[in-house]
Amino acid sequence: MLMPDGTLTACYLEADRWREHGLDHTVGYVFKDGNVAIDTNNLERIRRMVWHKPRCERCFCRWTCAGGCHISLTPPDCSTDYTDECIQTRLISASFLLKTVADHKSVAAWLNDKAAHQILAEQNDDRMLNYNGNTE
């Protein structure tokens, strides 16, 4: 976002909203003569924020959702529990993934399988490392 004072940010919320969580989403500045300065260190730090989100490190949506909004959904002090938005993201992502690997009938079966939705919503760790094969 380009702010009226020339600041470039990685977020359209007011700066006070990030600062409440100890975040700085400034990525650069556009000078009056049109020159632009980019803070590549801060840009890289923001890009890597998803690496350090305890809630997201066990979720298969980690690299697509990227933790959603760093301020309203997964601020540094957020709980590790999935929110309603997380569950929604997980279900939609699973549906899209299934569409890429399965036929229409299988996708339709998944979309109508409330028990499968519940399992996915409640599964608190998607990593193969921790998979025990239990889907009950």
Applying CB under 6 A, the residues found at the interface with ligand SF4 are: 55-56, 59, 61-62, 65, 67-68, 73-74, 82, 86, 89-90
Contact assessment for residue 53 and residue 46, using Cβ atoms and an 8 Å cutoff: no
What separation in angstroms does the CA of 70 have from each of 84, 97, 123?
Answer: 16, 24, 22
What separation in angstroms does the CA of 33 have from each of 7, 13, 29, 30, 37?
Answer: 14, 26, 11, 8, 12
**Looking at residue 40, what DSSP letter applies?**
H
CB of 31 to ligand SF4, least distance (A): 36
Among residues 6, 4, 2, 8, the alpha carbon closest in space to that of 28 is found at 8
CB of 129 to ligand SF4, least distance (A): 17
Nearer to ligand SF4, 18 or 82 (CB): 82
For tokens 């028990």, the residue is 115
CB of 83 to ligand SF4, least distance (A): 7
CB of 88 to ligand SF4, least distance (A): 8
Nearer to ligand SF4, 56 or 120 (CB): 56
Nearer to ligand SF4, 15 or 73 (CB): 73
Nearer to ligand SF4, 25 or 90 (CB): 90
